[in-house]
Amino acid sequence: MGAINLLDCTLRDGGYLNDWEYGYDEIISVFERLISAGIDIIEVGFIDERRSYDKNRTIFPDVVSINRTFHGIEKKNAMVVGMIDYGTCSIDKVIPQKESFLDGIRVIFKKHIMNDALDFCAELKALGYHVFVQAVSITSYDDEEFAKLMELVNAVEPYAFSIVDTYGLLHKNQLIHYFEMANDSLKDNISLGYHSHNNFQLGYANCIELAEKQIERNLLLDGSLHGMGKGAGNTPIELLAMYMRENYGADYHLSQLLEAIDVTIQDCYRVTPWGYSLKFFIAASNDCHPNYVAALTEKKKLSVKSINEILATIPKEKKLLYDGDLIEALYQDYQAIACDDKDDLCKLNSEWKNRNLLLIGPGRRAEETDRINQYKAENDALVVSVNFIPEGIAPDYVFMSNAKRYVKMVGKLSEVLEEASNIKTIATSNVTRSKGRFEYVLAYETLLDEEALIKDNPLLMLLKLCKQFEVKSVALAGFDGYEKCVDTNYINPNMEYVFSKEKADVLNEDAAEGIQRVKLSHPVFFVTESLYERYL
């Protein structure tokens, strides 16, 4: 049986969460704790020539910079490695190994550039480094492609080849399939490694599964302190160290790992948590890049069911290669459910034409009920609440264009409709009613503003209707706009968008421009204060 070695990647993989800015003292502290714990291989960060040197970060423009940071630090028996994402660091940024603090370099690459990446690995080996070939997104390889990869790896004869489950997609049987193919194909002197992610909470279990295979070649198992790492995180190295102590008599010092977690890593976690989450589960269960899920969930307009249905339409070759334009197009296609709304438009027009309309949004100023009700009474206005049920104001219509918000308000909506049967419901065709039918269902895509940043901004959709119906006037309440320095921009904090504070000024200006594009016969009147007014 070959040796089983643990490789810690905290300072590198964990850096995705803090832009690699641990602080110099913390970098050295973590490194020395890992040394004292007896971890076999320690990865100290990325080598990326696009970044400038910063002693507080573990992303370095060249190998010389790693020497600057770790000068005089004792590494004892540990092997120290860095990582290069192929294409981000040219060979001239890498000094010969005998002049370097690094013993080895790991190279990550995707399938379509594996030939060039392996040539680069050969150049690194010629400089004297232990080279680790890291095939990311391993599930993107079919058996024939994987066999070709094994041929290229054998030609280079690196120190190690690692199976990298970038998005945490591997279950036991799939992992064993790739593992056995590699073990059967690789030359005997090449170590075999595994780098997990915890989308399915399987990182630790998968590592144990491979350890128990007891293969003849050396096995490398990646982990990080407290599982700190990109996305759902990695296998916690403290668990691997505990397992190796209990089952193989390894002499890892757990107290040193726990001290590093307590002193440094817990502080990182409090700022930017990582680990298993619904987002990463959904991504892994659909075999796709988690940024697709993030793009859809940030819209706060889709149920989990809808998100899964959209993800299922991503072409196979694009699933692990994030494409922002593609997911936006698929989102728009999904929302644009075919709908013949001719009759509903005709009925609604007969009710709204030549009437004063008061649209109420879910901003915090929708709580100014006295002012709003006074305007309603004085102007005999029809009240339309938008994607929420206001307190203290009786709407004539409830307009729903956001499927996720509808799901959250369906119980309250049912209660309101039972108490006041005169309230009518209007929904765009992307919203499905839980029971029965909405009074009016309007074609979603015909109400979009293609020039807006948020094409399906419900205010702009309604104004488009008002223009079409030739309403007498339009007043707005509770459309506050976005502020950066408030706890929430909404009556209900759960409505807050991730991006609303970061892009407040841009969103306010965009909404104002959308209001102007509608070109109503009379300017909109703001019953409650709105930041949109600054741009009109």
What is the distance between the alpha carbons of residues 409 and 393, in angstroms, rounded to a whole number?
16
Q: Which of 128, 88, 130 is nearest to 108 (CA)?
A: 88
What is the distance between the alpha carbons of residues 234 and 221, in angstroms, rounded to a whole number?
11
Phi and psi angles of residue 392, each rounded to the nearest 5 degrees, phi first = 80, 5
pLDDT for 500: 52
pLDDT for 420: 78
| CATH 3.20.20.70 boundaries in the chain | 4-271
pLDDT for 501: 56
pLDDT for 230: 86
Element (H, E) at 486: none
- pTM for this predicted structure: 0.68
pLDDT for 298: 82
What is the distance between the alpha carbons of residues 374 and 376, in angstroms, rounded to a whole number?
5
What is the distance between the alpha carbons of residues 82 and 101, in angstroms, rounded to a whole number?
10
Q: What is the dihedral of CA 373, 375, 381, 386, to 10 degrees?
A: -60
pLDDT for 332: 84
Apex 43 CA angle, 38 and 44, nearest 5: 110
pLDDT in tens, 80-104: 999 999 999 999 999 999 999 999 9
What is the distance between the alpha carbons of residues 49 and 59, in angstroms, rounded to a whole number?
9
pLDDT in tens, 228-253: 998 899 999 999 999 999 999 999 99
Phi and psi angles of residue 469, each rounded to the nearest 5 degrees, phi first = -90, -5
Instruction: Specify the DSSP class assigned to residue 505.
Output: H
The list of the chain residues with pLDDT below 50 reads: 496, 498
Q: Which of 225, 365, 65 is nearest to 82 (CA)?
A: 65
pLDDT for 492: 54
pLDDT for 66: 98
4-271 falls under which CATH superfamily? Aldolase class I (3.20.20.70)
pLDDT for 34: 98
pLDDT for 331: 86
What is the distance between the alpha carbons of residues 239 and 205, in angstroms, rounded to a whole number?
10
